[in-house]
Chain A
C-alpha cells in the first residue's frame, strides 16, 4: 500500500511549476542615433523597436522590451519624435505608446484607435493620426493624450506631411488621391488625383510635393496600373510633372528627400536616387539589392548616411544596413521582423 501512496505523492509533486519573471533593464539612448520600427507579422504580436546608439556604436535589437519588459504589440508601423518623447504607432494594437527618449521608459499611451498608421505633430498640443480603415483622420490632444476629434476626408489615409499650415495626406489603400487640409479649420482645401495607391509623400526645397504611387497589385479588385511618381504644386495641388515606371511589376515605395530638398531617394527593388530637376526616372540604381529585400529607407542628414532595411522573407529577422551617400556599405546589424519605419533623432 505504501508503494502506491508513494507513487501518488510523487505524481502530485511533479506537478509543481516554475514561473519566469522578466524585469526591465536600464537603457540609455544618449539622445543620438536612430530607431528602426520592426512591424512583425499581423496578429503575431511580435513587433519590436531597434535602436542604433551612435555614441557607443551599439545596436539594440529590442530597446522597448529592454526598457519596459513588455512587448511592443502587433504591427508597430511608425514612430514620431517630439519634445523628447517618442510616439510609437502600433497599428493592429490600436495604440500609440509614448516613451521618454532618454531611457525609453513608458510614459503614457493613446488608446481607442482603430488602425492607426502615422502620427503627425501639428503643434505642442495637437497631432493627426492617419488610419488604414477609418475614413477620418483622428485628432489627438498631446497635453492629455486623448482623442479630441476627427477630420473627415472621405477616404482612408496613409502618409502625411505638414507644410506651410497645411497637412498633405495620401490615400494609399485602394485610393489614388492626395488631399490638403487646413490645420486651423480642419477643412479639406484641395485634392489631386495621382496614380493608384500613393504610399509616400515628401516636400522639396521649392515647397513642391512629391508623391510616389505603387500602382496596386496583381489580382486587386481595385485594379493595377504602372507605378508613378508625381510632383505637385503645394499651393493648389496642381500637377507639375509626373513619371511612369516602365514595368507593371515594379512597386516602388519609401520616397525620401535629403535635408536640402534637392534629391529624392526611393526603393524599387534596388535603391534609386534622382534630382528633383530630372526629367526621367533613373535607370541605374545607387545601391543594388542583389539578394536583399529592401523594405525601409531613410536619409540621415546628420551623418550623411543612407539607412536601409532588409525584410528578408518577411518572417525571418531583418537587417539594418548603413551606407554612405555613394552607396558603399559601412555596417549592418540584425534587426527584428519586417524592419520598416526608420526614425532618426535630431534629423
Chain B
C-alpha cells in the first residue's frame, strides 16, 4: 500500500511538472536563462549529449560536497553513509566504479578501488560540473559504463576580478567557510578558492536497531576538510596556457552502525590527503585545435580501526596507502571539410599504488600503465541530422588491448526538438585492489564489458526545457566482491546486469508581476536485474525503481525562497532477495530563504536554510542514521 501511495505521489508530481510548461504559453513575460560558459578540455562533438549541472546550486553552495549537488540530477544514484562520510555516485544502475571522474581532463578515480569519494570533492561556485551519461562518456574516457562526471576550472572569459566570502554556521557544530579571490584582466587571470568544512555531526536520531529502542546521539562522526584551488590562465591570440592546482585534506571519524552502538568504545578514523597539479596548452585556429595536457597527482589515505576493551586498546586494522599518478594527453580537432570534422586524442596514464596493513603485515606495491587513444568523425549533414563515429583503443599493461566502437546520431525534426541516440560497446579494466589486494585479490580477473544505448528527446524553449531519455545497458563480466569460506571477500567476473529505464528532467521559468518562479524536476525509472550464475537479483541493492527531485525557487525583489524535494522509492538492501531490511520510500524537504542587498558594486546576503523540514528519521544506507531537522545561516559578501 505504501508502495502504491508512493507511485501515486510520484505520478501526481510528474503530472504537475510535465504540464507546467503548457501554461507558460499564456505568459507575456519571458525570462532569459542565464548563459553559462563552460571550459572544456576536449571540444565536444555536437552529437554528444552533455548535461550541465544547474549552476544555481553551485553558486549557492558554501562547502557542500559534489555528491549533495548530484543528488538532484536524474539517472544518478547517490549513496552516502552520512554527512562527511563516504559518498559514491552511480549512473543508471551501474556500479560506483563505473562512474569515471575527471578534473581538467585528468582522471581522478582511485586506482585502488576504481571509485571516488564525492564527499571529498567540494562543490565550488566557480567550477564547472558536467555529466556525460552512458556512451556519451566515450568522448572523454573509456570504462564509464554509467557515465562520466567532469570537473573543470573556471573559463577564462567568464572570470572577472572579485572577492567573495561566505560563512555558514549550523546545527551539530557545522562551520563552513569559503573564500574566492579572482584577479587579473587582459591576458593573465588568477582565481584562488579556499573552502573549509567542519562539523561535530553529533545529531540526535531514533535508534530502532537496538533493544530497547531509544533516542540516541550520533557519536564519533566529526569531520573536517579543507580544499584549496588555484587556477592561473594566460590567454593571448590563439594560445591559452593554464595551470591548475588542487590541494585537499580531510579527516573524519567513522561512526558505528546503529546495531553496533553498544560495543566497546569504537575508534574508526580515516584521513585523506591529495595534491593535484595539471597544466594545459591550447592552440586554436579557425579549423584546427590542439591541446596538450600534463598532470601529476599524489594522494595518501590512512584508515585505523581500534576498540577499547576495558582500558586495553585493541587494534583491528591499521592501513596506509599511497597513490602516485602521472597523466599526459594530446588532442586535436580538425575540419576535413565544412561538414566533416576529425577529432583525435591520445592519453597516457601511469599509476603507482602502495598499500600496507600493519596489523596483518600485508600489502602490495604495483605500477600500472594505460594508453587510451580516441578518434572520432563528425558528419554534420545539413541542418536536421548529424552522425558521429567514434572509436577508442585502450591498452592496459595487464590486459589485451580493447577496441571500443560507438555511433551517435542527432536529429532535429523541429526547431524546438532535438533527438539524440547512441550505441556503443565499452570495456572497463579491473582495479588494482581487485587484482592484488591481500587477502582476496584475483589476478585472473577479466575486463568488464558493456553494451550501452540511449535515446533522448529534448524540447527546448526560452523559458522551459524538458528532456526525456531512455537507456539500456547490458554489462557482462561485472566484477563482484563476494565472501569466501575463509571470511574475506574476493572478486570474480560473475555478474551480468541488464539495466534499463527512463529519466525525465524538466525546467521552466516564469515571471508574474514581481515574482519570478523557477521550477526544476527530475524523475528516474530504473530496473536493474543482476544474474550471478544461478543467483538472481530482480533489482540491485540501494537502487530505487522510482526516484525524483523537485525544486521550486521563488524570487521576489531582494528575497529568494527555495523548496527542494528529494523522493526515493523503496530500496532493497541485499542481493537475491536475501534476508535484510528494506528502506522504505522516503520524502525529504529542504527549505531556504535568502535576502540580499546591493551596495554599489558589492552584494551582501543572508540565507537561512532548514533541512529535513518534516523531521523524518531516515537512512540512505541501512543502519546509518541521517540527521533529522537541522538549520544553518549563511552570510555572504561579494565585491
Contacts and interface: CB of A to CB of B under 8 A. Distances in A.
B369 interface: no
B611 interface: no
B579 A317 contact: yes
Contact of A17 (B307, B482, B574, B586): B586
A136 B512 contact: no
B479 to A, nearest CB: 15
Nearest to B307: A114
Interface string B437-475: 011110000000000000000000000000000000000
B623 interface: yes
A61 B482 CA distance: 23
Contact of A44 (B362, B438, B517, B580): B580
B309 A136 contact: yes
Contact of B535 (A113, A316, A337): A316
Interface residues of B, number: 72
B27 to A, nearest CB: 11
Given A7-B20, A315-B576, A43 B439 contact: no
A265 to B, nearest CB: 18
Contact of B614 (A14, A15, A134): A15
Interface string B586-616: 1101000000000000000000000001101
Most B Cβ at <10 Å: residue of A16, A38, A48: A16
Nearest to A38: B579
B263 interface: yes
A313 B483 CA distance: 7
Contacts of B510: 4
A136 B438 contact: no
Contacts of A73: 209-210, 259-260
B573 A46 contact: yes
Nearest to B581: A71
A333 interface: no
A115 B317 CA distance: 13
B54 interface: no
Most A Cβ at <10 Å: residue of B360, B488, B580: B580
Interface stretch (A92-100, A161-169, A297-305): A92-100
Contact of B264 (A45, A114, A221): A114
A290 interface: no
Contacts of A336: 578-579
A138 interface: yes
A131 interface: yes
Interface in B500-534: 510, 512, 517, 532-533
A111 interface: yes
A113 B563 CA distance: 45
B484 interface: yes
Contact of B209 (A43, A45, A133, A219): A45
Contact of A16 (B16, B360, B587): B587
Interface stretch (B5-13, B231-239, B323-331): B5-13
A20 interface: yes
B213 interface: yes
A331 interface: no
Most A Cβ at <10 Å: residue of B262, B575, B613, B623: B262
Interface residues of A, number: 71
Interface in A192-246: 217-221
B622 A44 contact: yes
A45 B622 contact: yes
A283 interface: no
Contacts of A158: none
B533 to A, nearest CB: 8
Interface string A67-91: 0101111100000000000000010
Contacts of A312: 535
Interface in A31-54: 38, 40-41, 43-46, 48
Contact of B210 (A8, A70, A221, A316): A70
A20 B2 CA distance: 9
Contacts of B440: 219
B310 interface: yes
Given A46-B573, A70-B209, A136 B623 contact: no
Given A94-B264, A217-B486, A315-B483, A106 B211 contact: yes
B263 A111 contact: yes
A38 B2 CA distance: 29
Given A112-B262, A114-B307, A133 B316 contact: yes
Contact of B579 (A46, A90, A133, A150): A46
Contacts of B614: 15-17
A106 to B, nearest CB: 5
B159 interface: no
B579 A62 contact: yes
A18 B617 CA distance: 11
Interface in A119-136: 131, 133-136
Contact of A46 (B213, B574, B576): B574
A335 to B, nearest CB: 8
B483 A61 contact: no
Most A Cβ at <10 Å: residue of B210, B512, B535, B565: B210
B383 interface: no
Given A94-B260, A94-B262, A219-B439, A114 B314 contact: yes
Interface in B410-442: 438-441
A156 to B, nearest CB: 9
Given A18-B5, A61-B579, A74 B616 contact: no
Contacts of A61: 579
B635 interface: no
Contacts of B579: 38, 40, 46, 48, 61-62, 317, 336-337
Given A11-B565, A138-B309, A221-B361, 4 more contacts: A136-B312, A150-B312, A313-B483, A314-B484
22 contacts: A4-B510, A4-B512, A14-B565, A17-B616, A18-B5, A40-B580, A41-B483, A44-B573, A45-B257, A46-B573, A94-B307, A111-B262, A113-B263, A134-B312, A174-B360, A217-B439, A221-B362, A293-B485, A313-B532, A315-B482, A315-B574, A337-B574
Please provide the 6 A-B residue pairs with the shortest distance between their CB atoms, ordered closest to farther.
A94-B263, A314-B483, A111-B262, A73-B259, A17-B587, A336-B579
Interface of B: 2, 5, 9, 12-13, 16, 20, 23, 208-213, 257-260, 262-264, 266, 307, 309-310, 312, 314-316, 360-362, 438-441, 482-486, 488, 510, 512, 517, 532-533, 535, 550, 552, 563, 565, 573-581, 584-587, 589, 613-614, 616-617, 622-623
